[in-house]
Amino acid sequence: MVVTQQMLDALKQIGLNLYERKLWTALLSRGTATAGELSSLAKVPHSRTYDVLESLADKGFVMVQNTKPLKYVAIKPIEALERAKKKVMTDADQIAGRITSLQGSSLAKDLESLHKKGVNLVEPGELTGSLRGRHSLHQQLDTLFKDAKKHISIMTSAEGMAELHEKHSDSLKKAAKKGVKVRIAVPAGKNNADIINEMKTFADVRKISGEAYGRFCLVDGSHTLIALTDDKDVHPTQDFSLWTQSDHVASNVLGPMFDALWQKLPSA
């Protein structure tokens, strides 16, 4: 059977790199083989073949026969995938446990201190980062909302409002309970009326006529997160945004623009 690109792409999605994909499918086609045979068959450099096969064995895809030369045996694919899944879950649990332990240790405070001292040495204009993918955008938003002290101002689309409600309602509620003023400007329509009404229980929501002017968020007059793509036109993985920690941008550029627009908007 010919190894198709669709098959290789599917294996890439579960975390196998190119050499791992090539060697495993080559081994599946042979059942058992030496590293040299697999290197030739899969067209993988011989110098890399042993360590890649060792990685596949560690992940549960192959077994090693202690012969001379070493031979590798393909595990039944369904069983191999099940082994790989269990290992990923076990590893994830272990890492999550270590992270939890680190969060509660004195080392976490040392890391915070190290970051704070480092930030103080950086020019404000350098505290800028690009975020690719909707997931990265929401991760950064969640951090900004949790750290907010005074105010959060959001301009978003109808689609963005739905995601804001789904992913950040709890963080925004907690911020509001701490006294943070939350303002959201969004296009109003029948499709998001229920969401807007729920968000209005902890935020001041105002209605934009027609389409939104873009998606951006301002926090405490120092943080700005602005989407550079249209969320209706791009796949979530291709959504691109920019974050910057700049008092000038947040307080003197986008802040006054948002305030001027806000005054003209009716309550949603």
Say which CATH number the domain at 51 has. Answer: 1.10.10.10
Residues 170 and 235 in one domain: yes
Give a yes or no: residue 96 inside a domain. Answer: no
Q: What are the tens digits of pLDDT across the range 32-46?
A: 999 999 999 999 999
Q: Which long-range contacts (CB under 8 A, 24 or more apart) does 198-204 make?
A: 198/165, 198/169, 199/161, 199/164, 199/165, 199/169, 199/172, 200/268, 202/172, 202/173, 202/176, 202/177, 203/172, 203/176, 204/267
Residues 241 and 151 in one domain: yes
Give a yes or no: residue 108 inside a domain. Answer: no
Give a yes or no: residue 10 inside a domain. Answer: yes
Give a yes or no: residue 98 inside a domain. Answer: no
How are beta strands 223-227 and 240-245 bridged, if at all? antiparallel
Give a yes or no: residue 154 inside a domain. Answer: yes
What gap in Å lies between CA 35 and CA 76, rounded to an integer? 19
In sequence order, the 6+-apart residues with CB closer than 8 A to the CB of 86 are 60
Residues 53 and 175 in one domain: no
Q: Using an 8 Å Cβ cutoff, are 134 and 236 in contact?
A: yes
Q: In this predicted structure, what is the pLDDT of residue 234? A: 84
Q: What are the tens digits of pLDDT across the range 153-197?
A: 999 998 899 999 999 999 999 999 999 999 999 987 767 788 999
Give a yes or no: residue 236 inside a domain. Answer: yes
How are beta strands 71-74 and 32-34 bridged, if at all? antiparallel
- The total domain count for the chain is 2
Residues 227 and 138 in one domain: yes
Give a yes or no: residue 225 inside a domain. Answer: yes
What gap in Å lies between CA 194 and CA 172, rounded to an integer? 17
One pLDDT digit (tens) per residue for the chain, 268 residues = 567 888 888 999 888 999 999 999 999 999 999 999 999 999 999 999 999 999 999 998 999 988 888 899 988 899 899 988 998 899 999 999 999 998 888 888 878 887 677 655 555 555 678 888 999 999 999 999 999 999 999 999 988 999 999 999 999 999 999 999 999 999 877 677 889 999 999 999 999 887 767 899 999 999 999 999 988 888 888 889 999 888 888 888 899 999 999 999 988 7
Residues 238 and 144 in one domain: yes
Which range of residues forms the domain containing residue 229? 127-264
Q: Kindly tell me the burial class for residue 140, based on how many C-beta atoms sit within 10 Å of its own C-beta (0-12, 13-18, 19 or more).
A: middle
